[in-house]
Structure 1
């Protein structure tokens, strides 16, 4: 069965629709109203080989926070739905991703237990130009919302880095590669990859 999901979520702050195909080719159509976030989700799909459609109407005139956080919730829900009971998957994924002076480490466990451990430099410069300024802190907000909705254990650490754009991009690419590894089917795995028989 194809591992796909379609999710929609509407609140007073955001209206979000996402279509996901886990075993895709990396194609995407992304429109969140936040140019830098569009860039991050596009490369997330590309490097994770996920087919992804994202349409968001958010209160970006107020702030980008609601759009980024709520998109993380809906995207996490999509992966959780698409993976079903997780039978046959690898479950664990990790990746060490270099981008120029930046080195990002991402490790995850599709455990059914939501947890985020995030370690990165604080008080970083905002990212963006004429297209709009994106607060670097929103990367953590996205990760927290995503890991909570997906119900996964997620560890993210910037081992080295100075440029906020490079650090954000390395994290999203590393997340994509770690998630791709964790969601792969292993023909040696019979049933649920847990002694509890449930994830």
Structure 2
């Protein structure tokens, strides 16, 4: 069995999901393996796998006739669970990762700690008519509700049991803001899951 690989199946009355991750060196994400039924979200997940340099596969059939919320949130739950399973006891990993990623006029900063404790700080200035504001109902990138970006990261951080800090100190285009965040998350995750020793990176002896 590959200890850096995991697959999670999640079925509810709202979604039917399979998420697989392979953190092995050289693993690559194929965009054809990501089919959530939410186009913009597929695009963002592909960035996570590509910039995280790991294989990420996600298939979801959800109640998108209602909206995309359940699909995005539940994929986040399954991804968080898969990451936790693939990392096992986390022996040898760096544990911490961070990345700054520019996307044209936008900048995203992501820092994370695979600490075994869930926490999310999310500060992204979604814009409407040039005015910064927290995500509000109805604000969209194409047909994608920007509020779901935070919902996804809530689900991932809780289920992977990671501290996750996401901020964009500036930016005016919501597509650029979101894309920079997902790319930065992938790159921060790549740094955190890298195996660089045979030790557990904690004075407690476990994380």
Query: Normalization by structure 1: what TM-score?
Result: 0.94
Alpha-carbon separation, structure 1, partners of 2:135 and 2:113: 29
Q: In the alignment, what sits opposite 1:141?
A: 151
Residue 161 (str. 1) matches residue 171 (str. 2): yes
Q: In the alignment, what sits opposite 2:72?
A: 68
Alpha-carbon separation, structure 2, partners of 1:193 and 1:61: 45
Q: In the alignment, what sits opposite 2:45?
A: 41
Alpha-carbon separation, structure 2, partners of 1:87 and 1:118: 28
Q: Residue 79 of structure 1 is aligned with which of 52, 61, 83?
A: 83
Q: Deviations over 1:12-70 (max 9, x none)?
A: 11110011111213334110000000111111111111112111000000010110000
Runs of 4 or more, structure 1, over 6 Å off, are none
Q: In the alignment, what sits opposite 2:128?
A: none
Alpha-carbon separation, structure 2, partners of 1:47 and 1:112: 23
Alpha-carbon separation, structure 2, partners of 1:93 and 1:63: 33
Counterpart contact for 2:4–2:87, Cα < 8 Å: yes
Number of matched pairs: 193
**Displacement of 1:2 after TM fit?**
4.6
Gaps of 5+ in 2: 126-133
Counterpart contact for 1:26–1:48, Cα < 8 Å: no
Q: Residue 92 of structure 2 is aligned with which of 88, 91, 105?
A: 88
Query: Normalization by structure 2: what TM-score?
Result: 0.90
* Secondary structure, counterpart of 1:26 in structure 2: coil
Q: In the alignment, what sits opposite 2:187?
A: 177
Counterpart contact for 1:115–1:148, Cα < 8 Å: yes
Q: In the alignment, what sits opposite 2:113?
A: 109
**Displacement of 1:4 after TM fit?**
0.2
Q: In the alignment, what sits opposite 2:11?
A: 10
**Displacement of 1:192 after TM fit?**
1.2
RMSD: 1.2
* Secondary structure, counterpart of 1:41 in structure 2: helix
* Secondary structure, counterpart of 1:80 in structure 2: helix
Counterpart contact for 2:35–2:42, Cα < 8 Å: yes
Counterpart contact for 1:26–1:47, Cα < 8 Å: no
Q: In the alignment, what sits opposite 2:130?
A: none
Alpha-carbon separation, structure 2, partners of 1:27 and 1:88: 27
